[in-house]
Amino acid sequence: MAVRKTKYEMPEQPPKERIKNFKEVPYGYSNETAIEEAKRCLQCKNKPCMEGCPVEIDIPGFIKCIAEGDFDKAAEIIKNKNSLPAVSGRVCPYEGQCEGVCTVKKIGEPVAIGRLERFIADYEREKGVKTPKKPKSTGKKIAVVGSGPAGLTCAGDLAKMGHGVTVFEALHAPGGVLMYGIPEFRLPKKIVNSEVDYIKKLGVEVRYDMVVGKTITVDELFEEYDAVFIGTGAGLPRWLRIPGENLDGVYSANEFLTRVNMMGAYRFPEYDTPVKIGKIVATFGAGNVAMDCARTSLRLGAEKSYIIYRRSDVEMPARDEEIEHAREEGVIFKLLTNPVKFIGDDKGLLKQVECIKMKLGEPDDSGRRRPIPIPGSEETIKIDTALVAIGQSPNPLIPQTVKGLKMGKWGNIDTDEAGRTSIPGLFAGGDIATGAATVILAMGAGKRAARAIDEYIKSKK
């Protein structure tokens, strides 16, 4: 039978409706659609899709189970490698990973691996996740710093090996960027909470309001624990460094999204949030963070929401789906445009941004074509809120407080492939080691570090 060339559509809220609420945009597949989509898989013997998955899920294996209607077995196969499937099924940039190398892509759209993973994770959650069996205790204790995807994955895998794991989290809630960065309409908090509950059921303890480096030091952790994993992420905002950036109305994307997520603004308009947004909002950058800012602004009542980006649409780093959703919702894309200065009134309130048009030159160190300003093409745009989303750097607190820790040139902790740092027993992974990257790469790093920690502990017996 010929393979259908296109993915089965996933129904979603219409754009005009969804910009008035923070509810999740796609509804997910029905049982019937998931089975039909799973039947598009060719069950390739060489499994190219698996090489594109940083957490090594047996993709053909779980898809075969869906095609046969055995959703429980599919969930078991996924959970074997991935403790956070409802998260990765929603936010993984699968177009450049598992789906990017799917054989079906040669004749049309790849198998919708991400959507199928999400379907199974949601099926399992709605049915009630089985309490995992706890393995025999090894008597060893490991401290994990940070409860983002790197820390949670590392903690979950170590607990499955029988080690005692305590996670130390600076904030009052778990999940890292999954909770305070990515908005509710892309990743509902109840889903993050339910995946964290699963990790806790594996026996992991989470201690909140523990800022390691201030409340407790890494040296103090070593007095009680056999090994320490650092997964503190990249939360330090980068700025445009142009005049007027200190005006009232200019925020870093991090500050804006953290306020929205942690101060209940996502419950707007039912909940009167202290987070206020202007009428005309400009977001600078074109990654996932920028799309989240632009789309959140619309939901909080902005009349116009711009994405201002110095390169062209080909270079935009956001996931395809986020860009498409932003366009459908009416976000205005001003590409090949770079801000030069912010202009305020005599009270220090932001009023305008001056921009210059750009053209693309030869590729730079990043491999992308270098944007070059076009003299005389300056224009002024009226705005009252600016959100700067041009990247984040690794959090500096732990590197500053651990003596002898070798650092990389971007302020990241230097590690080998397995997450070993220059200090025996101290491991690191995720954005703190790579710089701002993706959820699934952070999870992959947490997984590799868990294996290396287990080896390290066994070697010390």
Query: DSSP letter at 314?
Result: G
Nearer to ligand FAD, 41 or 253 (CB): 253
| Residue 156 touches ligand FAD, criterion: CB under 6 A | no
| Residue 236 touches ligand FAD, criterion: CB under 6 A | no
Hey, how many other C-beta atoms are within 10 angstroms of the C-beta on 189? 17
Secondary structure E strands in 278-419: 280-284, 304-308, 332-334, 337-344, 350-363, 369-373, 379-382, 385-388, 392-393
| Residue 211 touches ligand FAD, criterion: CB under 6 A | yes
Rounded least distance, CB 316 to ligand FAD, Å: 13
Nearer to ligand FAD, 232 or 421 (CB): 232
> Binding segment for ligand FAD among 45-53, 228-236, 339-347, 371-379 (CB under 6 A)?
228-236
Rounded least distance, CB 129 to ligand FAD, Å: 22
Size of the site for ligand FAD (CB under 6 A): 43
**Rounded distance, CA 379 to CA 339, Å?**
9
Query: 92 with 438: CB under 8 angstroms?
Result: yes
Rounded least distance, CB 46 to ligand SF4, Å: 8
Rounded least distance, CB 212 to ligand FAD, Å: 4
| Residue 288 touches ligand FAD, criterion: CB under 6 A | yes
Q: Name the residue with tokens 């060719």.
A: 42
Query: 451 with 427: CB under 8 angstroms?
Result: no
Residue 148 binds what, of ligand FAD, ligand SF4, none (CB under 5 to 8 Å, by partner type)?
A: ligand FAD
Question: Pick from 257, 323, 331, 449: which binds ligand FAD (CB under 6 A)?
Answer: 257
Residue 91 binds what, of ligand FAD, ligand SF4, none (CB under 5 to 8 Å, by partner type)?
A: ligand FAD
Residue 244 binds what, of ligand FAD, ligand SF4, none (CB under 5 to 8 Å, by partner type)?
A: none
**Rounded distance, CA 319 to CA 287, Å?**
8
| Residue 231 touches ligand FAD, criterion: CB under 6 A | yes
Binding interface with ligand SF4 (CB under 6 A): 41-44, 47-49, 53, 55, 57, 59-60, 63, 82, 88, 92, 94, 97-98, 102-104, 111, 113-114, 117, 440
Nearer to ligand SF4, 107 or 374 (CB): 107
At 344, give phi and psi (nearest 5°).
-120, 180
Cis peptide before 394 (omega within 30 of 0): no
Q: In sequence order, which residues have a C-beta less than 8 Å from that of residue 289 and are 6 or more positions away?
A: 181, 253, 254, 257, 389, 392
Residue 34 binds what, of ligand FAD, ligand SF4, none (CB under 5 to 8 Å, by partner type)?
A: none
Rounded least distance, CB 437 to ligand SF4, Å: 13
Question: What separation in angstroms does the CA of 105 have from each of 6, 39, 221?
Answer: 9, 15, 48
- Burial 363-373, CB ≥16 within 10 A → b, else e: eeeeeebebee
**Rounded distance, CA 295 to CA 449, Å?**
35
Query: DSSP letter at 73?
Result: H
Segment 382 to 411, residues that bind ligand FAD, using CB under 6 A: 395, 397-398
Rounded least distance, CB 256 to ligand FAD, Å: 9
Segment 318 to 337, residues that bind ligand FAD, using CB under 6 A: 319
Rounded least distance, CB 35 to ligand FAD, Å: 27
3-state secondary structure of 206: strand
Residue 419 binds what, of ligand FAD, ligand SF4, none (CB under 5 to 8 Å, by partner type)?
A: none
Alpha helices in 173-217 (DSSP H): 177-180, 189-201
Q: Which two tokens stand for residue 406?
A: 């070798």
Residue 439 binds what, of ligand FAD, ligand SF4, none (CB under 5 to 8 Å, by partner type)?
A: ligand FAD
Let me know if 18 is exposed, middle or buried by CB neighbors in 10 A (0-12, 13-18, 19+).
buried
Question: Pick from 65, 142, 177, 388: which binds ligand FAD (CB under 6 A)?
Answer: 177
Residue 302 binds what, of ligand SF4, ligand FAD, none (CB under 5 to 8 Å, by partner type)?
A: none
Rounded least distance, CB 92 to ligand FAD, Å: 6
Q: Which two tokens stand for residue 335?
A: 């590409």
Handedness of CA 410, 415, 416, 422 (dihedral sign): positive
Segment 84 to 123, residues that bind ligand FAD, using CB under 6 A: 91-93
Question: What separation in angstroms does the CA of 165 have from each of 200, 202, 260?
Answer: 10, 10, 31
Nearer to ligand FAD, 233 or 339 (CB): 233
| Residue 171 touches ligand FAD, criterion: CB under 6 A | yes
Interacting residues with ligand FAD (CB under 6 A): 91-93, 145-151, 168-171, 176-177, 181-182, 210-213, 231-233, 235, 257, 288-289, 292, 319, 395, 397-398, 430-432, 436-440, 442
